[in-house]
Chains A and B, each alone.
Chain A
Amino acid sequence: MSKPITKITSNKPVFFDNDPQEELITLNIGPTHPATHGVFQNVVQIDGERIVSGVSTIGYIHRAFEKIAEHRPFYQITPLTDRLNYCSSPINNMGWHMTVEKLLNIEIPKRVQYMRVIVMELARIADHIICNGILGVDTGAFSGFLYVMQEREFIYEIFEEICGARLTTNIGRIGGFERDFNEVAFRKIEEFTKRFPPVLKEFEELFVRNRIFIERTSGVAAVTPEEALSYSWSGPILRATGVDYDVRAVAPYCSYEEFDFEVPVGTNGDVYDRFLVRNEEMWQSLRIIEQALEKIKKEPAGVFHADVPEFYLPPKEQVYTNMEALIYHFKIVMGEWETPQSEVYHAVEGANGELGFYLIHDGGRSPYRLHFRRPSFVNYQMFAPMSSGMLISDAIINMSSLNVIAGELDA
């Protein structure tokens, strides 16, 4: 164990001395409070029902992914990315694969890119379903959540058909997918594009013009674009303030530039706008999936990975019978591949915002340094400052609409 290094600052959470007569009550929201939807804590000082000041304490499920990643070959890091934002793991997986492919300069066939787009957009829908459904629950409307939850279940069935797993998917490999989408998967994706619109429409009808919902959410936690940009917000909550920054549109990856979709923006940056932006994004994701299905039909069938034998694991049956495949398999598993020394920053539009991977590679078996730019972590830091002066009930739905996922918060 390395020697302790001198302590530099005190590590005690402090409240500013704003309560000389001890009139305020200190309240713990979390770490296992139902309203936090995850393991993180907010210690707030309250005056009646109003929050005076607050401190966020996070790190309850910190799993040292960045440290572990320095000791793992590239393909073993994919399961770590699953556990960042576990509501939309495929986006994390694809983002990581694309980062490595950028490092290794691998060209991905168009069909594989469209398959990735489908998977990522399904994951985005699944994530937004949770966020908006739970936002309804937190404002007291339970039924909308149940309607859409069924569709999330169906998305998980599609993932299961594609890769065998449901939540922590580990979809794909560096260079493509581990297998082609089968007939059932394509049929289910097509079925999803048919069955989801009426459900989403019904969900919207329950909320969008609902007087109670509007009163609860409109004007709550309104954020100006300047504030949002200063706090490095990204994703739907930034777009709700009116800034049309979407990584898919600004810096297209995975052939997003070929798709026809719109970037919805809000005007007030309040909880209601965030709800509307997420809903509209689900419609846009559906459009993208439909276009991708059309595009796939025009590409040569059966292509599901790039032709890079030195980086892409050979099929198992060949490993047992074919000498060359065995050698490649061994080299890849042992990390004995030739890789360039370089550094890469690659960003994808995660469900919560810009999900970035900063990879420094020294040519070794595993990354020299890997940093995840996690949107939840960056977005959530504004929560405590913006909560002061807010009612507790408003702070709860504000937290819900930020869609903080504990796994992504803590990495």
Chain B
Amino acid sequence: MDKLDNQLILSSLQEKFGQSVKPLGEPHGLLTVEVDKEAIIEVLSFVKDDETLRFNFLTDITAVHYPKQEREFCVVYHVHNMLQNVRLRLKVFLQGPEPSVASATSVWNGANWMERETYDFFGVVFEGHPDLRRILNMDELEVFPMRKEYPLEDPNRVDKKDFYFGR
């Protein structure tokens, strides 16, 4: 079995998907690629089932909010090839304010709660998810608290006003 290196991963991805997959660099040796929103499930299934890539373990799904960018949400997938200890990071950039992307639950069962958590905190809708509800926050919450515009503390608090501290 050949050692899987980033060049090989990238070339086999681009050979299969062409312009849908764009490299974003290799921070600390971890190959990062940007994937088109439409292609993400195909790409995830491909890297999971391909004979040479074999990224069969879904490590993590999360999202990042970049309010200044045009496509302000980024969903990040980390997948892992355990046999050769190679990781791959896939990013999908989405338009706000109601971003949506296809659900990875059809590829990995473990994506279920990871996507629920991402929905809960960022409001990213995963289409085709069997049970997309809030998971950590209370059901009545109407905002998505990990978005950057949401303040850390409740600005309506009265006990932390500056005049109490002589400021």
Residues of chain A touching chain B, judged by Cβ–Cβ distance below 8 Å, are 1-13, 58-59, 62, 64, 66-68, 70-71, 102-103, 227, 229-233, 243, 245, 250-251, 342-345, 347, 354, 356, 358, 360, 368-369, 371, 373, 377-378, 380-382, 410-411
- Given A11-B134, A342-B27, A344-B28, 20 more A-B residue pairs with CB atoms under 8 Å apart are A1-B155, A1-B156, A2-B149, A5-B98, A9-B133, A11-B140, A58-B136, A59-B135, A62-B137, A103-B28, A227-B109, A231-B110, A232-B57, A232-B58, A250-B82, A356-B78, A381-B110, A382-B109, A410-B136, A411-B136
For the complex, what is the distance from the CA of A377 to the CA of B136, rounded to whole Å? 11
Is B146 touching A67 in the complex (CB atoms < 8 A)? yes
Is A371 touching B59 in the complex (CB atoms < 8 A)? no
Is B136 touching A4 in the complex (CB atoms < 8 A)? no
Which residues of chain B come closer than 8 Å to A6, judged between CB atoms? 98
Is B152 touching A71 in the complex (CB atoms < 8 A)? yes
Cross-chain pair count, CB within 8 angstroms: 125
For the complex, what is the distance from the CA of A354 to the CA of B145, rounded to whole Å? 26
Given contacts A5-B98, A8-B125, A59-B135, contact A373 B112 (CB under 8 A): no
Which residues of chain B come closer than 8 Å to A251, judged between CB atoms? 85
Which residues of chain A come closer than 8 Å to B28, judged between CB atoms? 102-103, 342-345
Residues of chain B touching chain A, judged by Cβ–Cβ distance below 8 Å, are 27-28, 30, 32, 56-60, 62, 64-65, 76, 78, 82, 85, 87, 89, 97-98, 108-114, 117, 119, 121, 123, 125, 132-140, 142-147, 149-152, 154-156
Smallest distance from the beta carbon of A60 to chain B beta carbons, Å? 9
Is A371 touching B144 in the complex (CB atoms < 8 A)? no
Smallest distance from the beta carbon of A246 to chain B beta carbons, Å? 10
Which residues of chain A come closer than 8 Å to B65, judged between CB atoms? 369
Is B59 touching A354 in the complex (CB atoms < 8 A)? yes
Given contacts A58-B135, A231-B109, A345-B87, contact A369 B147 (CB under 8 A): no
From A10, which residue of chain B is reached at the shortest CB distance?
B133
For the complex, what is the distance from the CA of A354 to the CA of B57, rounded to whole Å? 12
From B112, which residue of chain A is reached at the shortest CB distance?
A381
Is A356 touching B125 in the complex (CB atoms < 8 A)? no
For the complex, what is the distance from the CA of A347 to the CA of B108, rounded to whole Å? 20
Which residues of chain A come closer than 8 Å to B108, judged between CB atoms? 230-232
For the complex, what is the distance from the CA of A232 to the CA of B57, rounded to whole Å? 6
Is B123 touching A356 in the complex (CB atoms < 8 A)? no
Is A5 touching B143 in the complex (CB atoms < 8 A)? yes
For the complex, what is the distance from the CA of A108 to the CA of B8, rounded to whole Å? 32
A-B contact pairs, 29 of them (CB 8 A): A1-B151, A5-B144, A6-B98, A7-B142, A12-B139, A58-B135, A59-B134, A62-B136, A67-B145, A67-B146, A68-B152, A229-B56, A230-B110, A232-B58, A232-B108, A245-B57, A251-B85, A342-B27, A343-B32, A345-B28, A345-B78, A354-B59, A358-B62, A371-B60, A377-B113, A378-B113, A378-B114, A381-B110, A382-B109
For the complex, what is the distance from the CA of A380 to the CA of B132, rounded to whole Å? 17
Given contacts A344-B27, A345-B87, A345-B89, contact A356 B59 (CB under 8 A): yes
Which residues of chain A come closer than 8 Å to B143, judged between CB atoms? 1-5
Given contacts A12-B139, A13-B133, A245-B82, contact A378 B110 (CB under 8 A): yes
Is A371 touching B62 in the complex (CB atoms < 8 A)? yes
Given contacts A1-B155, A378-B110, contact A64 B142 (CB under 8 A): no
Which residues of chain A come closer than 8 Å to B60, judged between CB atoms? 345, 356, 358, 371, 373
From A247, which residue of chain B is reached at the shortest CB distance?
B85
B27, B132, B137: most-surrounded residue (chain A CB, <10 A): B27
Is A59 touching B138 in the complex (CB atoms < 8 A)? yes
From A11, which residue of chain B is reached at the shortest CB distance?
B139
Is A67 touching B132 in the complex (CB atoms < 8 A)? no
Which residues of chain B come closer than 8 Å to A59, judged between CB atoms? 134-138
Smallest distance from the beta carbon of A305 to chain B beta carbons, Å? 22
Is A5 touching B27 in the complex (CB atoms < 8 A)? no
Is A369 touching B64 in the complex (CB atoms < 8 A)? yes
For the complex, what is the distance from the CA of A7 to the CA of B139, rounded to whole Å? 11
Which residues of chain B come closer than 8 Å to A103, judged between CB atoms? 28
Which residues of chain B come closer than 8 Å to A1, judged between CB atoms? 143, 151, 154-156
From A249, which residue of chain B is reached at the shortest CB distance?
B85
For the complex, what is the distance from the CA of A376 to the CA of B155, rounded to whole Å? 33
Smallest distance from the beta carbon of B151 to chain A beta carbons, Å? 7
For the complex, what is the distance from the CA of A230 to the CA of B58, rounded to whole Å? 8
Is B152 touching A8 in the complex (CB atoms < 8 A)? no
From A9, which residue of chain B is reached at the shortest CB distance?
B132
Given contacts A250-B85, A377-B113, A381-B110, contact A2 B150 (CB under 8 A): yes
Which residues of chain B come closer than 8 Å to A382, judged between CB atoms? 109
For the complex, what is the distance from the CA of A371 to the CA of B135, rounded to whole Å? 16
Smallest distance from the beta carbon of B30 to chain A beta carbons, Å? 6
For the complex, what is the distance from the CA of A358 to the CA of B132, rounded to whole Å? 23
From A13, which residue of chain B is reached at the shortest CB distance?
B133
For the complex, what is the distance from the CA of A102 to the CA of B144, rounded to whole Å? 31
